[in-house]
């Protein structure tokens, strides 16, 4: 079972697996997603704005909450860390800098 | 030095001693509780500067807190790899983290780049990343390649491992020591384990209350390691609490622990000649009737129940112990048929220097922890922890989270504390007035009872040894 996550403004569409976070899905599908820590939930660089489908998003855990608060965003489910965000239905997010990885 | 003018400190309260009560116990009493020893440690005054001086508080941090074993957190609070708690004392801050299923380490909680604290609270992480510039340490304390490594040719990961404190675990509790040359925790405890015989590791933290108190941490702790104050501070307890004949065990060759045993379900020697066994029974129940027994400490009577009868020739203490035996068995699915009365009724309180302050016995065990609030000599944090038996043997309920009580809120307003809440409030009522009074006294020291306040002397002598070492 996969769920479609649309990323604006690039128009990238990711098929995210059950239980998989959006950041990991992007890497698996060949996309580069802004990060420093590589998906450990500590650098907060991968954050997204949820535009549609917030009801399909996993709950915010303690480490992600800490990150969102450090970003000075409300913890209202609309700012999320991609490396902690799992989905159960279609979701649309805004994240600049999501690009297909250049083949070496 | 011995004070030549004082009596040898063998005088004891007239009337039955703790060991006399234990002779009458309905079950065999463990040897740990039959032990009795009180080495005379002098009768000199204790200077007040230790309680009031900022300079003293700062020196105490360097001389004592940075060198002694101290209770940091519970193992059950950090069950998974990456789980951590922040332990702070004075200006020091440590991350106590589970680094492997069977390994706990404690790191200095500060980024070695510009000095920002790495963590401001507990949680679970897979690495420690500084929120200032992103310097990052692995759980094993090694530094990752710094951000903009080109700008730090002088910084090598080998030189930038996080400094560590020593860690030891004991019956489910995590202790730390910031001195790399400190003696082992096993050696530090001396004979403590032979006398603290209750399996705290089989219990879970069912309650954790904390409050900032406006007094020095030693003023607070000293108020909880003697029963002498019951006569004036808790007069409502005199009918059922044998205060002046409590037992105090202090050993000159065991500087890091001491103990008291305080008989309950028997009258104070101050009022014993006017109190009947029925009075003891009724007031014992009365004092507990307002609160629930949810935490497994207080004896409760159901609505409409009659007071149990005392058989001819029997004592309130026997009846109360039998009732407590039944109540505990009903709430914990354990067998208390062989548990002696003393472990069901009495206040058996230990102090492991400087501030691990556990009660013994079969009921939920209270743990007190008093410690400085930063470097302020005039305030401290007081914590009350309950370690309870799970409802079913083998269950491990999650540990209760710490709950901070605002300064204007009473412990009596925390129903889970049961009878302890209002009693604790009575104790705390004294403390700010002691802190203020010590500065107004115009006498350079406080004066202690030879026996009933011998734990205070023992504790302060151990403190003095660290201060001058």
Question: How far apart are the C-alpha atoms of B360 and B357, rounded to whole Å?
Answer: 10
Residues 6+ apart with CB under 8 A from B10: none
User: Mapping DSSP to helix (H, G, I), strand (E, B) and coil, where does residue A47 land?
Assistant: strand
Assigned domain for A75 exists: yes
Please say which residue of B114, B148, B181 terminates a domain.
Answer: B181
Assigned domain for A102 exists: no
B32 and B138 belong to one structural domain: no
> Which domain CATH number covers B135?
2.102.10.10
Return the percentage of chain A with pLDDT > 90, whole number: 96
- Predicted confidence (pLDDT) at residue B121 exceeds the cutoff of 70: yes
> Which domain CATH number covers A61?
3.10.20.30
Assigned domain for B12 exists: no
B47 and B134 belong to one structural domain: no
How near does any CA of chain B get to the CA of A11, in Å?
31
Say whether residue B145 is in contact with chain A using an 8 A CB cutoff. Answer: no
B255 and B172 belong to one structural domain: no
- Predicted confidence (pLDDT) at residue A103 exceeds the cutoff of 90: no
Assigned domain for B198 exists: no
Assigned domain for A103 exists: no
Residue from B126, B19, B59, B2 nearest B372 by CA? B59
- Predicted confidence (pLDDT) at residue A45 exceeds the cutoff of 80: yes
Between B419 and A94, the more confident residue is A94
B237 and B153 belong to one structural domain: no
Between B395 and B146, the more confident residue is B146
Residues 6+ apart with CB under 8 A from B202: B389
B161 and B287 belong to one structural domain: no
Phi, psi of B153 (to 5 degrees): -65, -20
Kindly state the average pLDDT of the residues A15-41: 96
Contacts of B134 in chain A (CB under 8 A): 36, 43
B208 and B134 belong to one structural domain: no
Least confident of B181-185, B390-394, B458-462: B390-394
Kindly state the average pLDDT of the residues B21-34: 98
Question: How far apart are the C-alpha atoms of B94 and B109, rounded to whole Å?
Answer: 5
- Predicted confidence (pLDDT) at residue B120 exceeds the cutoff of 50: yes
Assigned domain for B57 exists: no
Number of domains present in the structure of chain B:
2
- Predicted confidence (pLDDT) at residue B342 exceeds the cutoff of 80: yes
Question: Are B127 and A63 in contact (CB < 8 Å)?
Answer: no
Residues 6+ apart with CB under 8 A from B33: B22, B261, B340, B342, B343, B348
Assigned domain for B146 exists: yes
Assigned domain for B187 exists: no
B261 and B349 belong to one structural domain: yes
Average pLDDT, chain B: 93
- Predicted confidence (pLDDT) at residue A20 exceeds the cutoff of 70: yes
Assigned domain for B194 exists: no
User: B177 pLDDT band (50/70/90 cuts)?
Assistant: very high
User: B8 pLDDT band (50/70/90 cuts)?
Assistant: low
Which tokens in the block code for residue B332? 């914990």
B243 HSE (CA, 13 A, CB side): 23
User: B182 pLDDT band (50/70/90 cuts)?
Assistant: very high
Average pLDDT, chain A: 95
In chain B the first and final C-alpha atoms are separated, in Å, by 18
Contacts of A66 in chain B (CB under 8 A): 123
Interface with chain A: mutation pick from B134, B137, B147, B148, highest number of A CBs within 10 Å? B134
Assigned domain for A101 exists: no
The confidence score (pLDDT) of residue B290 equals: 46
Assigned domain for B4 exists: no
Q: Classify strands B204-213 and B403-404 as parallel, antiparallel or unpaired.
A: parallel
Say whether residue B129 is in contact with chain A using an 8 A CB cutoff. Answer: yes
User: A104 pLDDT band (50/70/90 cuts)?
Assistant: low
B122 and B231 belong to one structural domain: no
Assigned domain for A29 exists: yes
Assigned domain for B286 exists: yes
Say whether residue B147 is in contact with chain A using an 8 A CB cutoff. Answer: yes
Assigned domain for A31 exists: yes
Residue from A37, A85, A66 nearest B138 by CA? A37
Q: Classify strands B127-129 and B92-100 as parallel, antiparallel or unpaired.
A: unpaired
Kindly state the average pLDDT of the residues B104-109: 98
B333-to-B318, B323, B330 alpha-carbon distances in Å: 22, 15, 6
How near does any CA of chain B get to the CA of A63, in Å?
7
Domain of A30 in residue numbering reads as 2-96
Domain of B129 in residue numbering reads as 70-181
The confidence score (pLDDT) of residue B394 equals: 81
B172 and B261 belong to one structural domain: no
Question: How far apart are the C-alpha atoms of B367 and B386, rounded to whole Å?
Answer: 6
Number of domains present in the structure of chain A:
1
Kindly state the average pLDDT of the residues B327-349: 92
- Predicted confidence (pLDDT) at residue B2 exceeds the cutoff of 50: no
């Amino acid at each position: 079972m996969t769920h479609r996550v649309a990323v604006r403004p690039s128009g990238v569409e990711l098929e995210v697996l059950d239980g998989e976070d959006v950041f990991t899905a992007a890497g698996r599908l060949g996309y580069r997603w802004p990060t420093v820590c590589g998906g450990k939930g500590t650098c907060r660089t991968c954050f997204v704005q949820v535009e549609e489908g917030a009801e399909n998003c996993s709950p915010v855990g303690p480490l992600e909450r800490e990150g969102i608060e450090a970003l000075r965003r409300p913890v209202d489910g609309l700012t999320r860390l991609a490396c902690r965000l799992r989905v159960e239905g279609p979701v649309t997010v805004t994240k600049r800098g999501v690009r297909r990885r250049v083949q070496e | 030095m011995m004070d030549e003018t004082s009596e040898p400190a063998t005088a004891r309260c007239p009337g039955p001693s703790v060991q006399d009560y234990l002779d009458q116990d309905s079950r065999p009493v463990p040897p740990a509780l039959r032990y009795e020893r009180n080495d005379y440690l002098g009768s000199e005054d204790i200077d007040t500067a230790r309680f009031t001086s900022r300079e003293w508080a700062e020196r105490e941090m360097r001389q004592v807190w940075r060198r002694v074993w101290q209770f940091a957190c519970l193992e059950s609070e950090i069950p998974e790899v990456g789980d951590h708690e922040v332990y702070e004392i004075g200006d020091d801050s440590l991350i106590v983290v589970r680094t492997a299923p069977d390994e706990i380490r404690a790191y200095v909680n500060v980024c070695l780049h510009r000095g920002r604290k790495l963590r401001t609270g507990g949680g679970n992480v897979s690495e420690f990343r500084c929120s200032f510039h992103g310097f990052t340490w692995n759980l094993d304390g090694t530094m990752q390649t710094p951000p903009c490594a080109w700008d730090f040719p002088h910084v090598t990961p080998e030189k930038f491992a996080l400094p560590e404190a020593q860690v030891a675990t004991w019956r489910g509790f995590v202790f730390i020591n910031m001195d790399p040359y400190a003696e082992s925790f096993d050696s530090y405890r001396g004979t403590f384990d032979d006398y603290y015989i209750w399996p705290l590791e089989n219990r879970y933290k069912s309650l954790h209350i904390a409050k900032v108190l406006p007094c020095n941490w030693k003023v607070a702790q000293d108020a909880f390691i003697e029963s002498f104050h019951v006569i004036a501070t808790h007069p409502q307890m005199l009918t059922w609490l044998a205060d002046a004949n409590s037992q105090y065990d202090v050993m000159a060759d065991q500087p890091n622990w001491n103990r008291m045993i305080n008989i309950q379900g028997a009258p104070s020697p101050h009022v014993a000649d006017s109190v009947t066994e029925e009075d003891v029974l009724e007031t014992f129940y009365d004092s507990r009737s307002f609160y629930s027994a949810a935490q497994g400490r207080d004896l409760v009577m159901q609505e409409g129940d009659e007071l149990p009868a005392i058989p001819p020739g029997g004592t309130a203490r026997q009846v109360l112990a039998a009732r407590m035996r039944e109540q505990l068995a009903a709430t914990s699915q354990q067998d208390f048929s062989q548990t002696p009365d003393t472990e069901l009724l009495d206040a058996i309180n230990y102090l492991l220097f400087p501030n691990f302050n556990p009660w013994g016995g079969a009921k939920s065990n209270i743990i007190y922890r008093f410690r400085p609030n930063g470097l302020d000599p005039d305030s401290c944090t007081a914590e009350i922890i309950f370690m309870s038996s799970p409802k079913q043997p083998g269950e491990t309920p999650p540990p209760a989270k710490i709950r901070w009580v605002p300064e204007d809120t009473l412990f009596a307003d925390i129903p889970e504390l049961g009878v302890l809440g209002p009693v604790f409030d009575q104790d705390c009522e004294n403390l700010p007035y002691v802190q203020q009074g010590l500065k107004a006294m115009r006498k350079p020291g406080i004066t202690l009872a030879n026996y009933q306040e011998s734990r205070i002397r023992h504790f302060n002598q151990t403190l003095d040894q660290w201060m001058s070492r």
